[in-house]
Amino acid sequence: MGMYESFYDEDSKCPKCNAKITTDWQTKHLECMLESWHKGDFVQYRKLERILEKERKRDYPDSIFPPLFRRTNEPVRDAPLLFNGKVPVHTSCDECKSWLEAYAKIVGGRFTGIVEIEANREEKKFVIVIPETTAKSLREEFANRLSHLQESCKHESTKWMNIEWAPGHISGRGRVCLRCEKALETKNEFEPDNPKLRQLLKRSKRLR
């Protein structure tokens, strides 16, 4: 079999006997790094980290060649392998033993499910879907990419900033990640950026 990638869809069924497909759908149309994805997953490879020697001995006590690395939940890039398209996949039905060809559908960089399942040996062609570019599609693509960046970001560098509900109208303060710009926490207190104004504001509060 060699190296391949796997997609899992618990809702996929054999078109011949209607049995649920519990095994993986395999493909060799990507980079063949033995990565796997379930429905809703962001389609990108994950970073590897080295397993500490004491963890290898603890987790694999009977293994002659315990693994040196393991996958993390952090993707190697913020962009997916494929934004919109259909990846040819195949498997066999455990019930009727039929060979099945299908597509793993990717929408907005996420695996949405197995589609167009057929019981034959005709391999499907790789399909890249390029939607019409409009202002709306660009906003949606940006929103999807920003959402994934914010989900995967560790928020290691943050800063408190003023929150404006309209230009010049400050409603409070927010602690924002400087990498992904996600608001991590907010408070209703107003705090000027100017140090002298901050001191005057603190004095006025003490005098109340």
Least confident of 75-79, 103-107, 196-200: 196-200
pLDDT of residue 167: 73
13 torsion bin: left (phi>0), alpha (psi -120 to 50), beta (else): beta
Q: In the predicted model, is pLDDT for residue 205 greater than 60?
A: no
> pTM of this prediction?
0.70
pLDDT of residue 88: 98
84-122 per-position pLDDT tens digit: 999 999 999 999 999 999 999 999 899 999 999 999 888
By C-alpha distance, which of 158, 159, 160 is closest to 189?
160
Beta pairing partners, 86: 105, 127
Q: What percent of the chain has pLDDT over 90?
A: 53
pLDDT of residue 201: 57
> How do strand 36-38 and strand 5-8 relate by DSSP bridges?
parallel
Q: In the predicted model, is pLDDT for residue 192 greater than 90?
A: no
Binning the chain into helix, strand and coil, the percentages to the nearest 5 are 20, 35, 45
29-69 per-position pLDDT tens digit: 999 999 999 999 999 999 999 999 889 889 888 888 888 99
Q: At 17, is the pLDDT very low, low, confident or very high (cuts 50, 70, 90)?
A: very high
By C-alpha distance, which of 114, 86, 110 is closest to 100?
114
Q: In the predicted model, is pLDDT for residue 1 greater than 60?
A: no
> How do strand 5-8 and strand 110-118 relate by DSSP bridges?
unpaired
Q: In the predicted model, is pLDDT for residue 24 greater than 60?
A: yes
Q: Which two tokens stand for residue 123?
A: 């391999």
